[in-house]
Amino acid sequence: MAEAERIIGTPDIPEAEGHEGAEPEQTAGSGSPEAVEPDGQDADSAAADAAVDRSPATRRRRIILLFCVAVLAYLLDLGSKMLVVAKLEHQEPIEIFGDWLKFDAIRNAGAAFGFGEAFTIIFTIIAATVIVVIARLARKLYSLPWAIALGLLLGGALGNLTDRIFRAPGVFEGAVVDFIAPAHFAVFNLADSAIVCGGILIVLLSFKGLDPDGTVHKD
């Protein structure tokens, strides 16, 4: 019997199968942990960036939207001021909701809501700077909410800057026309409202981690 076993021999067994219960070697891309992204957050960010449409057509649409919002805000502000100057200035205030809200035309040489009347030229420079910054941001604008926010800022800044340039007492020293007078609050205009709404929207977008180019990041 022993001689027969010696003659027949023992069949060769592959090394991988020589040990019972041994696991086959895993290769890259086979679902092993090494194939998974080391940082899930980075993977999510990369996927979000890839989903952003950064085509030239998208950027053109966002820029068009920005300027449409800006033009609408500017025209509403300009038209309301022209109407106020023609019909309300030097007249008694008009009550809208009793003493809670009135239309009362005043000339404001300061910033929004009547602050800083001694720094008219400085506020004029700030408004012009805001317009330049918005124009530069528009070159990498792919986010719809950012287009609306920047449009509101641009329209409001242009509205008040127009007053600074063309109204008395002189160029770059003109007083802004304000007329919305809530009770226990400063008098303001539609340009101020557009600037505040645009600023609040930008703060919210920043908290959400959304950048003007459409990138979403998480701190």
The residues assigned a catalytic role are 178, 192
Q: How many helices (H) and strands (E) does the chain have?
A: 6, 3
Closest CA to 127 of 167, 168, 155: 155
Q: What is the CA radius of gyration of the chain?
A: 33
Rounded Cα–Cα distance for residues 62 and 199 (Å)? 18
How far is it between the farthest Cα atoms of the chain? 127
Please give the Cα distance from 63 to 142 (Å, whole number). 8
Q: Burial letters for 181-208: b for 16+ Cβ neighbours within 10 Å, e otherwise? A: beeeeebbbbbbbbbbbbeebbeebeee
Beta bridge partners of 6: none
Phi-psi sector, 176: left (phi>0), alpha (psi -120 to 50), beta: beta
Task: Quote the CA–CA distance of 146 and 153 in Å, as a whole number.
Answer: 10
